Amino acid sequence: MAKTLLAPGGNPNGDESVYDIAAYHTQQGIEKELKHILHDILGDDENSHSFKTHNLPDLIGQVEAHGISVPEEIVDMAFDLNDWEAATRYSHGSVAKSEEISEAIKAYDRFVDYVKNDVEPLFSDIDTDA
């Protein structure tokens, strides 16, 4: 969604509020990827960790407690992304510029590739349904 909104045709009127929507979806993508690691790859459930959070540093800590490192660029932008998630729902001003969102989207894409190519293969033999 964020990529579509930032594409040339995704915001034909240059409406700055569209950037808030893109920022929100970028944060959500990274949040969901962290939860994917915890739940789908590691098999954690709500009894072992709290998934009812949007707090990226908290989720990063949970992932890293399993010995999985989260890319530094994701760690470095985690607090800003947290602000995007909350501010886009409760603020009336623009939370991020399109360039910042574009950089976060690129970081998200690299993070997804890292999880798919480096993290998932390490845990492919673990039965998460047990």
And the tokens for 52?
């009812």
Q: Which amino acid is at 84?
A: W
CB-based burial label for 103 (10 Å; 0-12, 13-18, 19+):
middle
- Per-residue pLDDT at 28: 93
pLDDT band at 92 (very low <50, low <70, confident <90, very high): low
Domain ranges of the chain: 32-101+112-117
| pLDDT tens figures, 102-115 | 999 999 999 999 99
Among residues 106, 100, 124, 103, the alpha carbon closest in space to that of 42 is found at 124
| pLDDT tens figures, 15-73 | 777 888 888 899 999 999 999 999 989 888 777 667 778 899 999 999 999 999 999 99
| 3-state DSSP assignment of residue 14 | coil
**What count of Cα atoms within 13 Å lies in the side-chain half-sphere of residue 105?**
20
pTM score of the predicted model: 0.86
- Per-residue pLDDT at 110: 98
Task: Answer yes or no: is pLDDT of 12 > 60.
Answer: yes
Are 108 and 29 within 8 A, CB to CB? yes
**What count of Cα atoms within 13 Å lies in the side-chain half-sphere of residue 50?**
8
State the average pLDDT over residues 75-95. 80
